[in-house]
Amino acid sequence: MGNIVLRAEHLSKHYRLGKIGSGSFKEDIQGIWKNTFSSVKNKISPSTKTDVNDLWALRDVNFDIRQGDVVGFVGKNGAGKSTLLKVLSRITLPTLGSIKGKGRIASLLEVGTGFHAELTGRENIFLNGQILGMNKKEIISKFDEIVDFSGIEKFLDTPVKRYSSGMYVRLAFAIAAHLDPDILIVDEVLAVGDAEFQKKCLSKMKQVSTEDGKTVLFVSHNAQALKNLCTKAIYLEKGSLIDIGNTGDVISNYLKREQTLYLNKSFATPQDAPGNEFIKIKSVKVNPGYLDQHQIIDVRTPLVISFEFWYMPQGEINLGVSIILNTLMGDCIFDVDSPSVPFKPGIVKGECTIPGNFLNNGSYSVNFAFVKNTSSLLFEYEDSLSFDVEDYRENTAWYGDWPGAVRPKFNVNLMQTLV
């Protein structure tokens, strides 16, 4: 286990929201007046009561990072991940607390920072490299490697404004990949580039951490990429550190807390229940067949949808129930029917199983349609249930969006017919 190379203590960051103008000028003057002449100094902390314009992007965050750790930061948008990276990169100052560290730190919050559009690729390699903290000698010694990695040798003496966006990103990442700091901070760079290049970047990052023993801090929305790359993870929520430790556990904890679940609804009496004179909903429920103790619905998880309703038919009719699954965008994934059969007045219940390895990852909602004689609608219960399906991948280095409305696991067989 390596030495501790980075320590954050009671790290907090405060932002003052609102427009800067004559109002803030008045506040500035008042602040200077207060600080100079008043004995009570203006002290703020995350725990004091604040008005709506105060935002604590980080609240009392503490952690240690050891040499050789690859640490992933997870959390929703606005959880404080980017602020934390900015503070670590010395782009913004903490309001309270401190970070202590050993060794050279380089941050990669964007690829191609400081690229000058009018200058050639060659000039920009030096410019960007030096902005990121390399010195001229280092760049010269790695120049061929960088050009090789980017694959743009033919365009080396062309101004980068003539590059395609793909070439631009390749060159930018190639420079960044050859940085040689003790601690590397990376933000979401995986979001750019094509699949092949993404793979190259990921394997380069993995190599940096495993072979060279570098410490890497990494932020991504992509839980799968984090799982694959990181040894440790830190979970932030509303600026506070919620969980820290082994990547698998932290990410599972994160996904579980973030999944917006409306997995069941039930109603005690027909009076409170949604419905009409024919149908009153008693309960609807999604029952996931969780695969492990983390209790996350991912693409492998089978789901049992069950429902119960009070049935009040008028006359001799047949009843069928359809279950309709929609995505968040309103696209229908499927619509499955029960057989249409007669029931007596009373309570009727039903069940339908969506097998594992069928749905793609995403957010879904369930509608129930009650149909008379396979032709006329008695009642439709819309958006009754909703659930998220998380991504899960094995044996792949591709972390882009998985295309397709569904994601079944049909067998694809390969065989060699000629050698």
Partner 1 sequence: MNQIDKAEENDDFSDWKWEITSGQKWFELGLKEVYAYRGLVLRFVRRDLLASYQQTIIGPIWMFLQPLLATLIYVVVFGNFAKIPTDGVPKILFYLSGTILWNFFFDSLSGTMYTFITNAHIFNKVYFPRLVMPVSNVATQTIRLSIQSLLFIIIYFFYVIVYDKFSLNISLLIIPFLVVLTAAFALGSGLIIAVFTAKYRDVDTFLQYVLRLLMFASPVVFPSSIVPLKFKFLFWLNPLTPIIETFRAVFFNQGAIQYNYLLIATVNVFILLVVGLVLFKRREIAVMDII
Q: Summarize as ranges the residues that interact with partner 1 (CB under 8 A).
A: 1, 3-4, 7, 15, 20, 24-25, 62-66, 69, 71, 87-103, 107, 109-110, 113-114, 116, 118-119, 123, 126-127, 130-133, 135-136, 159, 232, 241, 244-245
Query: What is the C-alpha separation between 276 and 274, in angstroms, rounded?
Result: 7
CB of 258 to partner 1, least distance (A): 19
Query: What is the C-alpha separation between 213 and 126, in angstroms, rounded?
Result: 26
Closest C-alpha among 237, 208, 197 to residue 80: 237
Cβ–Cβ contacts within 10 Å for residue 8, how many?
Answer: 22
Cβ–Cβ contacts within 10 Å for residue 162, how many?
Answer: 12
CB of 89 to partner 1, least distance (A): 6
CB of 119 to partner 1, least distance (A): 6
CB of 31 to partner 1, least distance (A): 13
Pick 101 or 270: Cβ nearer partner 1: 101
CB of 378 to partner 1, least distance (A): 55
CB of 105 to partner 1, least distance (A): 8
Kind of pairing between the strands at 96-101 and 4-16: antiparallel
Say whether 23 sits in a helix, a strand or coil: helix
Q: Which residues, including other chains, have CB under 8 Å from residue 85's CB and lie 6 or more apart? A: 73, 107, 109, 185, 187, 217, 219
Kind of pairing between the strands at 70-74 and 232-237: parallel
Pick 3 or 77: Cβ nearer partner 1: 3
Pick 20 or 261: Cβ nearer partner 1: 20
Pick 51 or 277: Cβ nearer partner 1: 51
Pick 16 or 409: Cβ nearer partner 1: 16
CB of 30 to partner 1, least distance (A): 15
Contact (Cβ atoms closer than 8 angstroms) between residue 175 and residue 138: no
Element at 5 (helix H, strand E): strand 4-16
Q: Which residues pair with 238 in a beta bridge?
A: none
Pick 176 or 286: Cβ nearer partner 1: 176
Pick 232 or 393: Cβ nearer partner 1: 232
Q: How far is CA 333 from CA 288, 298, 336, 346, 384, in A?
A: 18, 17, 10, 31, 16
